[in-house]
Structure 1
Amino acid sequence: MIFLHNDQLQVEVNELGAQLHSIKRQGSLLEYLWQGDSKSWGRQAPILFPFVGRLKNDQYTFAGKTYHQTQHGFARDRRFTVVKQESDRVVFEQHDDAQTRAAYPFAFRLFVIMELVDDRIMIDYRVENPATKQAMLYAIGAHPGFNMPLTAGAKFDQLQLTVQPVGEYSRIVLQGPYNDSNHPQLIDMNKPLRLNHELFAHDAVIFKTAGSNFAATLHDPAGKHGVTVTTRGTQYVGVWSAYPAKANFVCVEPWWGIADNVNADGQLLHKQDLHRLAPGQTADYRFSIRTF
């Protein structure tokens, strides 16, 4: 386990998946990060790479070969190497090997950089294509879960979700695990959205952010505590909690990519919102988490 701290935060990060394990404010016992529960959701803050969401039939075809890959990719289940560590900053890395190439035929280097800056955790996913000839096709995303409500005795249906900028957003709906982006719904976020478990009966509430900066705040009015996730350049942001296995957590998920479309043909070159990285190039995907 990696421990980070500054004057305002104390944070733990697990090398397995380079995922956050604990977020607390200095001088407080309040745990902001979901601690996992096998009855509802056993993870905490997985990285989604090289795919976001589910592929049709958990497979895809590239260059005439079919590959099998389960939901959200393999990075979340692989141990990362610590490249550099300071008291308030850590750099993790993983790269392709024989195991990854059996499911994903691309060379890659994936860095996860976490830094504490005042009351924020700044997170940078850096993707490098070390190949000399082949472009790299991928998606990437984050899936942090937060204890909600944070106040003892408070109820889940007291929670509020607010966004910045306010306004109406296209909400991408899911048919099963696949997106139906051809039939979006409007969601009015000019005022706070009151949460309840039934809101997630059909999986995540997906905001189409279309590359704009976007901030989502989970607020527990009972104790005036909460979390703000600020994203930069995401295509989508998902808000999710388990259903029907109801539990007191909510995830705010920056996505640079999305699950297969309901009409997907399984060809990787046709996959919706996939990123393409030229040989020798690097791309950064950033977001931050602030607690209050």
Structure 2
Amino acid sequence: MIQIENEQLTVQIDPLGAQMHSIKRNAAGLEYLWQGDPKSWKRQAPVLFPFVGRLKDDQYEYQGKVYHQTQHGFARDREFKVVEQSSERVVFELRDDEKTRAAFPFAFVLTIAYQLDEDRLLVSYRVENPSNDQTLIYALGAHPGFNVPVDEQGSFETTQFSVSPAIDYQQVKLVAPGPFNDLEHPAVLHMQQPIQLDHELFDEDALIFATKGMPFTATLTEPQTNHGVHVQVNGAPFVGVWSPYPAQANLVCVEPWWGIADSIHSDGRLEDKQVMSRLAPSKHEDYAFAIQPF
């Protein structure tokens, strides 16, 4: 386990999946990150790469060949290499190999940096295409889960969820048997006022905000203690908000997505898949979000 810390925060990251393991404010000693429970959700903050969400039949076709790939891709189960480390910053790297190419026939370098900035944790990604001649087709996302409530006071049902800007958003619905996206028939999320959390909010899977890449902050707050977390996103086309259902648990995930699950109309061809990034040979792309516990 790798630990970084400053005067305000202590954060632990597991090289397996480069997954956050703990986020604590030093003054209170409270644990903000979900600690995992196999009865509801065993993970804590998986990295989603090279796919976000589920593929139809857990497979896709590329250049006439069919590849198997489970939900959210393989990065979350791969060991990352530590390539840089200091007291307040650590950088992990994952490169393609024979095993990844069996499921994803592309060369890539995925770099993830965790950097403390006073009372915020900055999470940044870089995807590089080291190929000389092949375009890299991929999606990327984050899936951090937070304890709701943070401490023993209050409950899941007394916690409030709010966003900024506090406006109406298009909601991308997820439908059976996937869950697969139905981008063509969005609903509306009225977010002028905070939402009181309820497990039934997630009975149709995640609430997906179509943010269109604009600056977006999601906030979880327990009013009795005023403890909670801000997740600040800039540039992601979607932000998913999820809690397990019907296996209920005191956690909520706030997920910046640069990708999305297959469409209900997907033909299974990677070249036709919606919301995929395309990176030219020898190029790179950067992504980021921030977590601010309070």
Q: TM-score under structure 2 normalisation?
A: 0.98
CA deviation map 1:162-208 (0-9, x unaligned): 11111000001111210111111011001111110000011000000
Q: Shift of residue 156 of structure 1?
A: 1.0
Match of 1:219 in 2: 221
Is this contact kept in 1: 2:153–2:225, CA < 8 A? no
Aligned equivalents of 2:151 and 2:285: distance in 1?
Answer: 39
1:53 is the counterpart of 2:53: yes
1:3 aligns with: 3
Identical residues among aligned pairs (%): 57
Question: Tell me, which stretches of 5 or more residues in structure 2 are unaligned?
Answer: none
SS across alignment from 2:185: coil
Distance 1:217 1:43 in 2: 21
Specify the alignment match of 1:254 in structure 2.
256
Aligned residue for 1:111, secondary structure, equals strand
Task: Tell me the secondary structure at the aligned position of residue 57 of structure 2.
Answer: helix
1:151 CA displacement: 3.0
Aligned to 1:195: 197
How far the C-alpha of 1:7 sits from its partner, in A, is 1.0
- TM-superposed CA distance for 1:210, in Å, is 1.1
Q: 1:211–1:232: 8 Å Cα contact kept in structure 2?
A: yes
Residue of structure 2 equivalent to 1:28: 28
The runs of 4+ residues in structure 1 deviating greater than 3 Å are none
Contact 1:150-1:223 within 8 A present in 2 as well: no
How far off is 1:29 after superposition? 2.1
Asked if structure 2 preserves the Cα contact closer than 8 Å seen for 1:151 and 1:222, the reply is no
SS at match of 2:271: helix
Which residue among 269, 272, 289 is the counterpart of 1:270? Answer: 272
* Alpha-carbon distance in 2 for matches of 1:247, 1:107: 38
Query: Within 5 Å, which residues of 2 pair with 1:1-292?
Result: 1-176=1-176, 177-292=179-294
Give the 3-state SS of the residue equivalent to 1:84 in structure 2.
Answer: strand
The answer to whether the 8 A contact 1:151-1:220 is kept is: no
Matched residues, number:
292
Q: Tell me the SS of whatever aligns to 2:102.
A: helix
> 1:224 deviation in Å?
0.6
TM normalised by structure 1 equals 0.99
Q: Is the 8 A contact 2:81 2:94 kept in 1?
A: yes
Q: Is the 8 A contact 2:263 2:274 kept in 1?
A: yes
Task: Give secondary structure in 2 for the equivalent of 1:184.
Answer: strand
User: More deviation in 190-199 or 37-46?
Assistant: 190-199
Q: Read off the aligned partner of 1:104 and give its amino acid letter.
A: F
Query: What is the identity, as a one-letter code, of the residue corresponding to 2:279?
Result: L
Alignment check: 8 A CA contact 1:37 1:43 kept: yes
1:26 Cα shift?
1.2
SS at match of 2:184: coil
The CA RMSD over aligned residues, in Å, is: 0.7
Deviation (angstroms), 1:153 = 4.0
Report the secondary structure of 2:205's partner residue: coil
* Aligned amino acid, residue 110 of structure 1: L
Q: Which amino acid aligns with 2:101?
A: R
Measure the CA separation in 2 of the matches of 1:216 and 1:64. Answer: 41
CA contact 2:51–2:139 (8 Å) conserved in 1: yes
- Runs of 5+ consecutive residues of structure 1 not aligned to the other structure: none
